[in-house]
Amino acid sequence: MFDNSTFKDKVALITGGGTGLGKATAHRLSGLGAQVCIASRKLEILQSSASEISSETGNAVLPLQLDVRKYRQVEQVLAECVDRFGQVDILINNAAGNFIAPTESLSHKAFDVIVDIVLRGSYNCSLALGKYWIGANLPGDILNIITTYAFTGSGYVVPSAVAKAGVLNLTRSLAAEWGGRNIRVNAIAPGPVPTTGAWERLVPDPNLEQDMLQRIPMGRVGTHAELTSLAAFLLSDECRFINGEAIIMDGGEWLSGAGEFNFLGSLTAEDWTELAAKIKH
């Protein structure tokens, strides 16, 4: 459904773009014609990723050091992107942090770190880009990467759940306010999509991974290609009437967990025969 001109003449700024899903998305958009700025705190990793992506796609990738928690740095990165490419059309708020732990074992600083990166970082970047687009009377697109438990909450990842819920609200609020300015704000809520860094912190034991797979009706995790395809679709000019939407992409995991009787999927045919005999019609 895409070709290498889908994002021709478009410039994308991706936070957390040097590794994991951010890097995968940067690679996908670059391969579809975009000029890309990738930003995070570790410049050496960014430079390596930028060189790798650019050599494979033939399009320029600009690595820029950024701590999304610091608004002035966000403004500086935006200025450098505009200076290099002339404009910025797309913002992807992907920078994040997360780990599993009993909440009572956390210090207040653990909350601060996660909430600052995820929520403060997202609104810092959104505010800077929004001011830029509105001030210059330009259209824009923001895509926030959230998670399924942004809707429901989740134990053992409470700082992330709080922060991602805030980003979900930010998505809907800005979509309503800025839609009339031709600025769209959408989100993707992925289920399990393995990346090296996140997987080591969230699924450190193979047994946990098996437990996770049993919750997913499709019986597998998602892939980078699937997520980046959805991102490219949402950001393309082919669907500009989508605004304020948060699309869940989890193989049915969320719905499976929400259904009161979905646990019956573990029953065998013999179990059902036995139960049917006990049910009074």
pLDDT tens digits along 220-240: 989 999 999 999 999 999 999
Q: Measured between alpha carbons, how far apart are the two ends of the chain, in Å?
A: 50
Q: Which two tokens stand for residue 22?
A: 């951010």
In terms of C-beta density within 10 A (0-12 exposed, 13-18 middle, 19 or more buried), how is residue 272 classed? exposed
CA distance linking residue 258 with residue 246, whole number of Å? 18
Whether 265 is in a domain gets the answer no
CA distance linking residue 66 with residue 103, whole number of Å? 29
Can you give the residue range of the structural domain that contains 57?
11-254
Name the domain count of the chain. Answer: 1
Give me the active site residues, please. 149
Whether 79 is in a domain gets the answer yes
CA distance linking residue 76 with residue 82, whole number of Å? 10
The answer to whether 111 and 31 have CB atoms below 8 angstroms apart is: no
Whether 172 is in a domain gets the answer yes
| CATH code of the domain in which 123 resides | 3.40.50.720
Whether 163 is in a domain gets the answer yes
Whether 267 is in a domain gets the answer no
Q: pLDDT (tens digit, 0 to 9) for every residue of the chain, 281 residues total?
A: 788 999 999 999 999 999 999 999 999 999 999 999 999 999 999 999 999 999 999 999 999 999 999 999 999 999 999 999 999 999 999 999 887 788 999 899 999 999 999 999 999 999 999 999 999 999 999 999 999 999 999 888 899 999 999 999 999 999 999 999 999 999 999 988 877 666 565 565 566 667 778 888 888 989 999 999 999 999 999 999 999 999 999 999 988 887 766 767 777 888 778 877 877 55
CA distance linking residue 83 with residue 44, whole number of Å? 22
Beta-strand relationship, 140-145 and 183-190? parallel
The answer to whether 142 and 94 have CB atoms below 8 angstroms apart is: no
pLDDT of residue 198: 63
Whether 2 is in a domain gets the answer no
Whether 5 is in a domain gets the answer no
